[in-house]
Amino acid sequence: MFANYLIGLREGLEASLVVVILVAYLVRTGRTRHLPAIWGGVAIAVAVSLGFGALLTYGPKGLTFEAQEAIGGGLSIVAVGFVTWMIFWMARTARTLSGQLKGRVDAAAEAGWGALVGVAVLAVGREGLETALFLWAATQAAARDNASTTAPLVGALLGLATAVALGVGVYKGAVRLDLGRFFTWTGAFLVLVAAGVLAYGVHDLQEAGLLPGLDTLAFDVSGAIPPTSVVGTLVKGVFNLSPAMTVLEVAVWFAYVVPVMALFVRSVARPRRTDAGATPTSGASARPAQQGASS
């Protein structure tokens, strides 16, 4: 549940900051007449994300077990790809996000109402689609282990609610976030979460008969740590790891975590080495939204 709360918080905070920047910039530049277009785009993005989630949930119904496992495994791997891209994208662009969005708003305002709607849909919709796909993978993993399938959704909704509250606080000037530090720590944690989803996706493909080694276990500690125990539930809920995993699952987990974590640490550390005399990343990343909101 905590992992899904973090997904909802991180993705929701990204979307909330995008909306805060767009709205604050239009208000500051005296273009409040364009605000309905922004909110309309946000509403469309939310509706598309919910529809995508419903399609993932109810689309595979009626298929054979092997087909459902194949679809589930494939989409879990796609979800890992999206989350990995999101982690590195935010680490790279967090400090310049405000300027990029303002430039898009200026161009869209000249192009017309529809262009502004498109900016909001694309900016917010990406986070919504990523969240829907990742949560679907989490609920599938919970269902496979006979765990609660509502816990991932509850965790994500709590995270989204927290993100919206933080977004409102930023807009009102009541909250000053250290965005650089927030996205660094959550990014590192999500690398571990994504590795667990990837391993789960591989297990699905093994059950579908598309990958070998289903009966070759690397370890099985379910006797000492039952899946329904507190420790088993926490490990599964946070890191998507099972008490029994195949050799291929473990190999894929390490093959993902080691290089991706190394690249992430390198990408986060590089700006601090190259900009030795500059203002720290965290302060720079927090100011654009804050300035736009407080003007």
Q: Are 4 and 152 in contact (CB under 8 A)?
A: yes
Work out the number of other CB atoms within 10 angstroms of the CB of residue 51.
11
Q: 110 phi and psi, to 5 degrees? A: -75, -30
- Spell out the residues 6+ positions from residue 4 whose beta carbon is closer than 8 angstroms to its own: 135, 138, 151, 152, 153, 155, 156, 159, 237
| Encoded tokens for 208 | 């579908």
Q: What pLDDT is recorded for position 254?
A: 95
pLDDT < 50 regions, the chain = 273-295
SS3 label, residue 220: strand
Q: What pLDDT is recorded for position 282?
A: 40
Pairwise CA distance, residues 281 & 289, whole Å: 14
Q: What pLDDT is recorded for position 291?
A: 43
Domain that holds residue 182: 2-294
Q: Are 222 and 244 in contact (CB under 8 A)?
A: yes
- Tens digit of pLDDT for each residue in 134-178? 777 777 766 666 666 677 788 888 888 998 898 888 888 767 767
- Choose among 178, 127, 115: nearest CA to 19: 127
Number of structural domains (the chain) is: 1
Q: 245 phi and psi, to 5 degrees? A: -135, 145
| Helix or strand run (H / E) with residue 218 | strand 217-220
The distance of Cα 264 from the centroid of its chain, to the nearest Å, equals: 15
Q: 240 phi and psi, to 5 degrees? A: 60, 35
pTM, two decimal places: 0.67
Q: What pLDDT is recorded for position 274?
A: 41
